[in-house]
């Protein structure tokens, strides 16, 4: 932990971003910056051999968390969309087949199904992590599916709710902007797919890039 104001530490630039504006992203420079030993998190002995593997293991635990953020944001957007539509007479009571529903109802059912599959993949990956089971593939599957789903759902909700969905008075606009990062950090969509493919095909990172 490096306290702000420590000699040698300089916040060089704050990024201006599409979303997650409550979380600062900055370029921080450390020049001859001395950090007290007691500020170290974890083991002070640095094991360089475990470095990369350790980071990868961290992802097995953190990717389901980011996937869960995606599931939560997508659910919030869908819930709010349903509320807004209900005020305009939307029924959505599931008593009609998709072919007999309005286009908007059918679209909401499809998004709900997508969200449920993202949620189940996320719960599975998190359960495996909690129970000490190797879950790299499942964590990447959950992250890829939830990232894709939250991007599609929030943008579609903004679209369905039209002026309200695009306006800053509604959180749907914010969720649509916030959602993109969930498909990027902790490994992008493309990288998750690469990891899943490697696991399924039994190929190493040098064999499948």
Q: Mask 125-154, x = binds ligand FAD (CB under 6 A)?
A: ------------------------------
Q: Mask 158-197, x = binds ligand FAD (CB under 6 A)?
A: -----------------------x--xxxxx-xx--x---
Query: Which ranges of 87-135 does DSSP label H, i.e. alpha helix?
Result: 103-130
Regarding 70 and contact with ligand FAD (CB under 6 A), the answer is no
Nearer to ligand FAD, 15 or 88 (CB): 15
Q: How far is CA 151 from the centre of its chain?
A: 9
Distance CA 114, CA 95 (A): 20
- Residue 173 has φ and ψ, to the nearest 5°, of -60, -45
10 is catalytic: no
Nearer to ligand FAD, 61 or 101 (CB): 61
Burial status of residue 122 (CB atoms within 10 A of its CB: 0-12, 13-18, 19 or more):
buried
Nearer to ligand FAD, 80 or 198 (CB): 198
Regarding 124 and contact with ligand FAD (CB under 6 A), the answer is no
Nearer to ligand FAD, 108 or 194 (CB): 194
**Binders of ligand FAD among 19-58, rule CB under 6 A?**
25
Of the candidates 2, 17, 82, 109, which one interacts with ligand FAD according to CB under 6 A? 17
> Could you count the other beta carbons within 10 Å of the beta carbon of residue 186?
22
Distance CA 13, CA 167 (A): 29
Specify the residue for token string 């300089």.
10
- Cβ partners under 8 Å of residue 29, min gap 6: 9, 10, 12
Interface residues with ligand FAD (CB under 6 A) are: 17, 25, 181, 184-188, 190-191, 194, 209
């Amino acid at each position: 932990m490096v306290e702000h104001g420590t000699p040698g530490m300089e916040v060089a630039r704050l990024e201006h971003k599409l979303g997650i504006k409550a979380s600062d992203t900055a370029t921080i420079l450390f020049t001859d910056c001395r950090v007290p030993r007691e500020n170290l998190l974890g083991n002070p002995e640095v094991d360089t051999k475990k470095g990369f593997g350790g980071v990868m293991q961290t992802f097995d635990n953190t990717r389901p968390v980011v996937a869960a953020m995606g599931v939560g944001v997508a659910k919030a957007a869908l819930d709010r969309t349903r509320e807004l539509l209900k005020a305009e007479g939307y029924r959505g009571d599931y008593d009609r087949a998709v072919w007999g529903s309005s286009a908007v109802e059918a679209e909401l059912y499809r998004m709900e199904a997508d969200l449920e599959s993202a949620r189940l993949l996320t719960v599975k990956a998190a359960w495996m992590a909690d129970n000490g089971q190797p879950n790299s593939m499942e964590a990447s599957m959950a992250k890829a599916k939830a990232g894709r789903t939250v991007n599609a759902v929030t943008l579609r909700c903004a679209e369905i709710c039209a002026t309200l969905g695009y306006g800053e008075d509604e959180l749907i606009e914010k969720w649509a902007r916030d959602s993109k990062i969930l498909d990027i950090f902790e490994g992008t969509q493309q990288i998750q797919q690469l990891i899943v493919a490697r696991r399924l095909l039994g190929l190493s990172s040098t064999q499948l890039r």
